[in-house]
Amino acid sequence: MSLLKWVDFPHIGDARGSLVILEGSKTIPFEMKRAYYIFGTQESVARGFHAHRQLQQVAVCVSGRCRMILDDGKQRIDEWLDSPTKGLIIDAMVWHEMHDFSPDCVLLVFASEHYDEGDYIRDYEDFTAHIK
């Protein structure tokens, strides 16, 4: 299965600007239970550095940009998130890191489950051991 999976969000544009529509189990390929967003990230800060055992997520930069690294233990990809109409799917058991946040970056994430620290794998060696 491909590691790089984008979702194109339906949007309506007119002379006033743009409106993006996101619906659970439709545009977002799961029923959303949680959303969170990251903003005001300081220069040279990187975040993430974990994988989730079960959680599915979709990440979108609604403003600005950041660079996302996805790693499934077989391949590692590096992609800019810089469009408010394109979401990147972060599947379960995918190590992810976010780098190079622009000062205006607002990274919005939709998640399939409520917050559960027990679902995190925060050590890369632990992650590769789980993949095997």
Q: Which residues bind ligand TYD (CB under 6 A)?
A: 34, 36, 47-48, 50, 115
Does residue 88 sit in helix, strand or coil? strand
Task: Residue 26: count other Cβ atoms within 10 Å of its Cβ.
Answer: 9
Among candidates 97, 53, 52, 34, which has minimal Cα distance to 71? 97
Minimum gap (Å) between residue 11 Cβ and ligand TYD: 26
Of 11, 50, 52, 114, which residue is the catalytic one?
50
Minimum gap (Å) between residue 127 Cβ and ligand TYD: 13
Minimum gap (Å) between residue 40 Cβ and ligand TYD: 13
Q: Which is nearer to ligand TYD, 2 or 42 (CB)?
A: 42
130: annotated active-site residue: no
**DSSP annotation of 129:** H
Q: Which is nearer to ligand TYD, 5 or 47 (CB)?
A: 47
Q: How far is CA 43 from CA 20, 89, 110, in A?
A: 29, 25, 24
Question: Annotated active-site positions, please?
Answer: 50
